């Protein structure tokens, strides 16, 4: 199982198309599948109706829990939701509370129309927040390498955390009661190809001594 997992991930990474913001970045990642995947990943907010295969959802979640984390405590939990009944039911609650948002052209569900969403929970402190962030980046890069798009969602998470009507859906996720949902990741097949946004490379500097 482990060898198969690694082989499939490697194949996905090798299939990732390279796309960089500057010629220098392109040269740095040329021929390196991991760097190419990092440079090519984009946040996707338009998705096809095509369901995501559960094998791929399982694989990217396994990539997530293989992220580095302090003392290998693995103080996180991951829930994959691809049930239309769950997503549509929660969306109806969202629409009732946010009729203006739901009236936008093309609106289908509260997760930017993605057919699947991944919820990540952990104890809400800086230590575990960093660990959970590493997990999420692994998920998004692995998804990109397999031809999937992702987007880390803030608005839907705030709605889940503040809407009493959404409480049964949170309970259905079955997270550890001492954990808090830290973020949601929309997952699906992209229906857009957004351009890269500029990155400020002046934020990077060497420390001379």
Residue 77, H or E segment: strand 77-81
What 3-state DSSP class applies to 159?
helix
pLDDT tens for the chain, 209 residues long, are 444 434 444 444 433 333 333 444 444 567 899 999 999 999 999 999 999 999 999 999 999 999 999 999 999 999 999 999 999 999 999 999 999 988 999 999 999 999 999 999 999 999 999 999 999 999 999 999 999 999 999 999 999 999 999 999 999 999 999 999 999 999 999 999 999 999 999 999 999 99
CATH 3.40.109.10 residue ranges for the chain: 43-193
Domain 43-193, CATH among 2.60.120.260, 3.20.20.10, 3.40.109.10, 1.20.1430.10: 3.40.109.10
Q: How many whole angstroms separate alpha carbon 96 and alpha carbon 165?
A: 10
Q: List alpha helices for the chain, DSSP H.
A: 2-15, 23-29, 33-40, 54-65, 84-97, 99-102, 126-145, 155-162, 167-173
Q: What are phi and psi of 192, to 5 degrees?
A: -155, 160
């Amino acid at each position: 199982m482990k060898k198969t997992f690694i082989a499939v991930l490697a194949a996905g990474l090798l299939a990732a198309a390279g796309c960089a913001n500057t010629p220098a970045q392109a040269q740095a990642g040329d021929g390196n599948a991991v760097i190419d995947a990092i440079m090519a990943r984009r946040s996707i907010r338009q998705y096809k109706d095509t369901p995501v295969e559960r094998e791929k959802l399982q694989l990217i979640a396994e990539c997530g829990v293989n992220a580095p984390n302090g003392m290998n405590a693995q103080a996180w939990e991951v829930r994959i939701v691809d049930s239309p009944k769950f997503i549509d039911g929660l969306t109806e609650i969202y629409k009732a509370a946010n009729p203006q948002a739901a009236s936008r052209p093309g609106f289908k569900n509260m997760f930017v129309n993605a057919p699947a969403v991944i919820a990540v929970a952990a104890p809400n402190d800086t230590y575990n927040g960093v660990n959970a962030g590493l997990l999420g980046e692994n998920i998004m890069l692995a998804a990109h390498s397999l031809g999937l798009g992702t987007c880390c969602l803030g608005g839907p998470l705030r709605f889940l955390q503040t809407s009493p009507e959404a409480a049964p859906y949170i309970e259905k996720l079955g997270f550890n009661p001492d954990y808090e949902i830290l973020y949601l990741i929309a997952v699906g097949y992209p229906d857009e190809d957004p351009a890269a946004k500029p990155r400020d490379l002046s934020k990077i500097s060497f420390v001379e001594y």
